Protein backbone atom coordinates (compact mmCIF):
# COMPACT_ATOMS: atom_id res chain seq x y z
CA UNK A 1 0.00 0.00 0.00
CA UNK A 2 1.23 3.46 -0.89
CA UNK A 3 2.51 5.54 1.99
CA UNK A 4 3.13 9.26 1.71
CA UNK A 5 5.21 11.02 4.34
CA UNK A 6 5.78 14.73 4.84
CA UNK A 7 8.60 15.88 7.05
CA UNK A 8 8.75 18.12 8.98
CA UNK A 9 5.23 18.25 10.37
CA UNK A 10 5.70 21.92 11.19
CA UNK A 11 8.09 24.60 10.05
CA UNK A 12 8.60 28.21 11.11
CA UNK A 13 10.71 30.58 9.01
CA UNK A 14 11.32 34.33 8.84
CA UNK A 15 9.78 36.27 5.99
CA UNK A 16 11.87 36.37 2.83
CA UNK A 17 13.50 32.99 3.31
CA UNK A 18 13.52 30.40 0.56
CA UNK A 19 12.27 27.03 1.76
CA UNK A 20 11.73 23.44 0.69
CA UNK A 21 8.91 21.15 1.73
CA UNK A 22 9.38 17.43 1.31
CA UNK A 23 7.04 14.63 0.31
CA UNK A 24 8.22 11.00 0.25
CA UNK A 25 6.28 8.11 -1.23
CA UNK A 26 6.80 4.35 -1.35
CA UNK A 27 5.11 3.35 -4.62
CA UNK A 28 7.23 4.09 -7.67
CA UNK A 29 4.18 3.41 -9.87
CA UNK A 30 3.01 6.91 -9.05
CA UNK A 31 1.91 8.75 -12.20
CA UNK A 32 0.83 12.13 -10.82
CA UNK A 33 1.71 14.07 -7.71
CA UNK A 34 -0.29 17.07 -6.59
CA UNK A 35 0.55 19.75 -4.03
CA UNK A 36 -2.16 21.58 -2.10
CA UNK A 37 -2.36 24.28 0.52
CA UNK A 38 -5.00 24.36 3.18
CA UNK A 39 -5.87 27.37 5.29
CA UNK A 40 -7.43 26.74 8.72
CA UNK A 41 -11.04 25.60 8.46
CA UNK A 42 -11.04 25.63 4.67
CA UNK A 43 -10.77 23.24 1.76
CA UNK A 44 -7.69 22.25 -0.19
CA UNK A 45 -6.43 24.57 -2.90
CA UNK A 46 -4.44 22.97 -5.68
CA UNK A 47 -1.01 24.51 -6.19
CA UNK A 48 0.77 22.31 -8.70
CA UNK A 49 0.17 19.00 -10.42
CA UNK A 50 3.19 17.11 -11.72
CA UNK A 51 2.88 14.26 -14.13
CA UNK A 52 5.65 11.69 -13.94
CA UNK A 53 6.76 12.55 -17.47
CA UNK A 54 7.16 16.24 -16.54
CA UNK A 55 9.38 16.00 -13.45
CA UNK A 56 8.86 19.67 -12.60
CA UNK A 57 6.18 22.39 -12.54
CA UNK A 58 6.39 26.07 -11.73
CA UNK A 59 3.83 28.67 -10.77
CA UNK A 60 5.02 32.09 -9.64
CA UNK A 61 7.21 31.64 -6.56
CA UNK A 62 6.45 27.94 -6.36
CA UNK A 63 8.37 25.13 -7.98
CA UNK A 64 7.60 21.46 -7.50
CA UNK A 65 9.71 18.53 -8.63
CA UNK A 66 9.09 14.82 -8.80
CA UNK A 67 11.78 12.13 -8.67
CA UNK A 68 10.20 8.70 -8.91
CA UNK A 69 13.50 6.87 -8.59
CA UNK A 70 14.12 8.32 -5.15
CA UNK A 71 10.43 8.35 -4.16
CA UNK A 72 10.48 12.03 -3.47
CA UNK A 73 8.78 15.29 -4.39
CA UNK A 74 9.79 18.73 -3.20
CA UNK A 75 7.91 22.01 -3.14
CA UNK A 76 10.19 25.02 -3.27
CA UNK A 77 8.82 28.37 -2.10
CA UNK A 78 10.91 31.39 -2.98
CA UNK A 79 10.96 34.59 -0.94
CA UNK A 80 8.39 33.40 1.57
CA UNK A 81 5.66 35.79 2.75
CA UNK A 82 3.34 35.74 5.78
CA UNK A 83 0.48 34.95 3.38
CA UNK A 84 2.20 31.63 2.62
CA UNK A 85 1.40 30.46 6.15
CA UNK A 86 -0.80 27.40 5.77
CA UNK A 87 -0.67 23.62 5.83
CA UNK A 88 0.79 22.08 2.69
CA UNK A 89 -0.25 18.60 1.62
CA UNK A 90 0.93 16.37 -1.17
CA UNK A 91 -1.10 13.59 -2.79
CA UNK A 92 0.27 10.70 -4.81
CA UNK A 93 -1.77 9.09 -7.59
CA UNK A 94 -0.65 5.52 -8.23
CA UNK A 95 -3.62 3.65 -9.68
CA UNK A 96 -7.36 3.85 -9.99
CA UNK A 97 -9.93 5.64 -7.95
CA UNK A 98 -8.89 4.34 -4.57
CA UNK A 99 -5.16 4.66 -5.03
CA UNK A 100 -4.77 8.31 -4.13
CA UNK A 101 -2.78 8.77 -0.96
CA UNK A 102 -2.43 12.03 0.92
CA UNK A 103 0.46 13.01 3.11
CA UNK A 104 -0.19 14.26 6.62
CA UNK A 105 0.93 17.76 5.78
CA UNK A 106 3.52 20.34 6.78
CA UNK A 107 2.23 23.31 8.74
CA UNK A 108 4.19 26.37 7.65
CA UNK A 109 4.40 29.61 9.55
CA UNK A 110 6.16 32.58 7.97
CA UNK A 111 7.03 35.17 10.58
CA UNK A 112 6.97 38.86 9.53
Q: Which positions lie near other proteins, rule CB under 8 A?
A: 31-32, 34, 36, 41-46, 49, 89, 91, 93, 95-98, 100, 102-105
State the minimum distance, in angstroms, from the CB of residue 18 to other proteins: 26
The residue among 80 and 89 lying less far from other proteins, judged by its C-beta, is: 89
State the minimum distance, in angstroms, from the CB of residue 72 to other proteins: 19
CB 62 within 8 A of CB 73: no
| Buried/exposed code over 10-39 (b: 16+ C-beta within 10 A; e: otherwise) | eeebeeeeebebebbbebeebebbbbbbee
Amino acid sequence: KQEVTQIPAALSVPEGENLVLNCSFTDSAIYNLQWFRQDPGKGLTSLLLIQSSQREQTSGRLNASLDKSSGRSTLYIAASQPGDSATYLCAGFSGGYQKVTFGTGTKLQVIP
